[in-house]
Chain A
Amino acid sequence: AQTVTQSQPEMSVQEAETVTLSCTYDTSESDYYLFWYKQPPSRQMILVIRQEAYKQQNATENRFSVNFQKAAKSFSLKISDSQLGDAAMYFCAYRKNSGGSNYKLTFGKGTLLTVNP
């Protein structure tokens, strides 16, 4: 079974600084997707960034970027120029690529990010 581990239950960062959230996963599959979701106190889960395992290039979305190390099964999220609105619980998630027939996401336990003004 696939597992996703987020080893940092809580992190804090100063506004405008950079922070990196860690995620490791375990799978025997070679084709899969990885995601970072953000869940603010309002509870709406928002997709932040996604990475296809077959792509070597790390995904980037504005201030958010990932460091995807497939051999090490590591998928960290870097948030640059942190803003107060970035404060939230961040979840790393995995999904096997089954040709569109399996939409099950496996989540890590989450990292609570605090942004200090």
Chain B
Amino acid sequence: KAGVTQTPRYLIKTRGQQVTLSCSPISGHRSVSWYQQTPGQGLQFLFEYFSETQRNKGNFPGRFSGRQFSNSRSEMNVSTLELGDSALYLCASSGDNSYEQYFGPGTRLTVT
């Protein structure tokens, strides 16, 4: 089975712009979670989607949003980018009734 894929791998944006990141889970996995990784805050949970519904949400401002499509692919969007949004964004998928999450390679977002 192919692993979790994320696109793009690298992204440079300017403060105030918006960005959309994409994640394709492992085939058959319906749960997709997003995490932000920074040197200062470490790994922080953003949100989780299951069958096109957001099931859980972390403590991030409303500028961070996501969605999931019927094929389980997920996108996350960050509007009005701030310098502090520079981070590695990781996506993870999980199968039904499985407690393991499998991560993608991440998208490195740099905000200038």
Contact = CB atoms under 8 A, between A and B. Distances in A.
A85 interface: no
Contact of B31 (A43, A97, A103, A107): A103
Contact of A44 (B56, B101, B103): B103
Contact of B101 (A42, A43, A47): A47
A110 B40 CA distance: 12
A91 B43 CA distance: 9
Q: Size range of the interface on B?
A: 20 to 34
A84 B27 CA distance: 32
Contact of B99 (A45, A95, A110): A95
A26 to B, nearest CB: 16
Interface string A95-117: 10100111111111110000000
B62 interface: no
A45 B103 contact: yes
Q: Which 7 A-B pairs have the closest CB atoms?
A: A45-B103, A107-B43, A104-B45, A33-B99, A109-B42, A44-B105, A103-B48
Interface of A: 33, 35, 37, 42-47, 50, 52, 91, 95, 97, 100-110
